Chain A
Amino acid sequence: MRIDEHPILKFERGKQIQFVCDGKPIEAFEGETIAAALHAAGIKTLSHSVKEGRPRGFFCAIGKCSSCMMQVNGVPNVKTCMVLAEQDMEVTSQTGWGKLGQVDARQDYNRKKIPVIETEIAIVGAGPAGLSAALYASRFGAKCMVFEENTQVGGQLIKQTHMFFGSKDHHAKVRGIDIGQKLIDGLNENVQVLTGTPVVGYYPDKELAVIKDRRLTIIKAEKVIVATGASENMLSFPNNDLPGVYGAGAVQTLMNVSGILPGKNMLMIGAGNIGVIVAYQLLQAGVKVEAVLEALPTIGAYQVHASKLRRCGIPILTRHTIKRAFGDGKVEGATIVELDDNWQEIPGTERDVQVDTICLSVGLKPTTEIFEMAGCTMAVIPELGGEIPVRGHNMMTSVDGVYVAGDASSIEEASSAMLEGRMAGLDAVEKLKGVSEEISKEKQHVKDSLDELRAGPFGEKIRQGEAKLEEACK
């Protein structure tokens, strides 16, 4: 299941190690997550559901969905998609909630003993938005701490093997993976990036609760920039919880980060840019793509992306959807069906496809818990992905000094996420260090650049959403 040769990527694997899962030895490589190593060993079922005891595999592979939780070295509810495999680790599949061990609550939660760290700008999330915020805020002298719950920096950029669109200013024609590296390389000594360090709470006056080295730590910041990204939407159909139904991002994580094939043959649901791009990446990795289904009458992806796939002979079926998945304990196939003008299934058009993996690419939802904890005014704007914090052009929310950037602000391309992060970073540093001509010029440039990206017909939805957001600000 491991990919040895890839047209774009080189997989440099760490030392070979071995751990135990449910009594069976599992071969893994250092630097690989537990879930990835298990997948490579052919183990897709990680737990069983609470009520019905149904088998569960992972869905998102970036720590957002909780369906990969297992017991690791006696600790229950460990998200195995985010924790690296270690030599002699003991992993047990979990049924239901998992049993907590004994914890001396008084000792662990004595507030006086909780370490406190101060910084000027705390940034939540080291994806394109968070890193860009750090890059520009630090350039103008602000001390930044970036908290990333994953073990790697770069967010979703680290799995984007395709070249980006836009102009030079948006890193056009550079592959996503290399853009991530450019951002990381550009950080100066004012920035400290902490990986494997999730932010779990927000307290008044810009205090963040983070889990650092397995301990609760309080971060006191003057400005907070929240770039938590988004999680993938689920689609409802019978057996959508079978192991082998993955989000498109999870498929990318497995194949482009861990170098592990998600399956042998795939059905892709959703012909937006992500669905079509990931389907193409699957072909590059050597996976057979049965078809891409799209419930809408037209393909949402850029024509150039769709054409790339079509000339390889992969069908994109518009007005088609998945009726059900089937399989004994794992995906073995799917029934697909054609839809009429009113989105109703056309009887008699059902047919079965034999696939071992179903990939869902049906939209994203902003990750907004921190804004709600911070008391930010929220608004529901479907064009921007659903519930989001209300914010101005400078990316500041309704809570003074708390900013949003990237997919947490609106579901868009990584290019816009980088610009939004840059804007948030610039505004935060301007408020900390004082107005300068240079910063004002930069901010204007970022605004113009964002407007330019959103100016075409594909930016229409975002422009409508932005207009609604402006209304909400009033």
Chain B
Amino acid sequence: MSDYLKNGYLTLEDISPPDMERLEKGPVAVIECVQEIPCNPCSDSCHRGAITMKTSINDRPDIDYKLCNGCGICVANCPGLAIFLIDQSYSETEALVGLPYEFLPLPEAGEKVMLLSRQGEVCGEGVVQKVRNTRAMDRTPIVFISMRKDLAMTVRFFRR
């Protein structure tokens, strides 16, 4: 386990992301929620039953990557903004990453942005491909950014 209690951010060793085979198949949700907190909207909102809590709402969410199709409903439903969408099948060289973004102004498709890591450090440049912002998402839009494939599990925010 990393020092997230001391510095506030997770590292890859804290989470169990899907394997390469699953990642290359198409979009999938990655949940970065490691504490036992009383919360279950992610599993409640998943139409495919991919996210479950073992016995109580205090359990950590368990995601079945075989059932998850990366639809993104859980992303806008997560009160902790802790779910991200990763699509390694986006193109030959690039991945598409969906990030929850509750700031104004919203970026526009085609806009170049600075990519930030979990600890807020600049780690590259990406291009906004689309912004999903429906009424059901209740003011938590998802910004989809294309970036180098190797950055997909590092980038969790962006700066305009």
Interfacial residues, chain A to chain B (CB-CB below 8 A): 5-8, 162-168, 170, 172-173, 175, 271, 283-284, 297-299, 302-314, 316, 318, 415, 452-459
Contact = CB atoms under 8 A, between A and B. Distances in A.
A284 B6 contact: no
B8 A7 contact: no
B82 A297 contact: no
Nearest to B117: A311
A310 B40 contact: no
7 contacts: A8-B102, A163-B138, A165-B39, A166-B39, A310-B118, A452-B38, A459-B58
Interface residues of B, number: 44
A284 B104 CA distance: 8
Contact of B6 (A283, A297, A458): A297
Given A173-B77, A312-B120, 12 more contacts: A5-B104, A165-B37, A172-B41, A172-B79, A283-B103, A299-B5, A304-B80, A304-B81, A313-B159, A453-B38, A455-B56, A456-B58
Given A7-B102, A8-B139, A307 B39 contact: no
A299 B45 CA distance: 29
A307 B120 contact: no
Interface stretch (B27-35, B62-70, B142-150): B27-35
Nearest to A172: B41
A92 B39 CA distance: 48
B9 A455 contact: no
Nearest to B77: A173
Contacts of A163: 41, 78-79, 138, 140
A309 B40 CA distance: 22
A175 B138 contact: yes
Contacts of A298: 5-6
Contacts of A318: 6-7
A391 B59 CA distance: 30
A5 to B, nearest CB: 5
A311 B102 CA distance: 13
Contacts of A415: 38
B35 A457 contact: yes
Instruction: List the 4 closest A-B pairs by CB distance, nearest first.
Output: A304-B80, A313-B120, A456-B58, A306-B8
Interface string B19-60: 000000000000011111111110011000000000011100
Contacts of A459: 38, 58
Residue among A166, A307, A415, A457 with the highest chain B CB neighbour number at 10 A: A307
B124 to A, nearest CB: 14
A303 B38 contact: no
B118 A311 contact: yes
Contacts of B37: 165, 302, 304, 456, 458
B93 interface: no
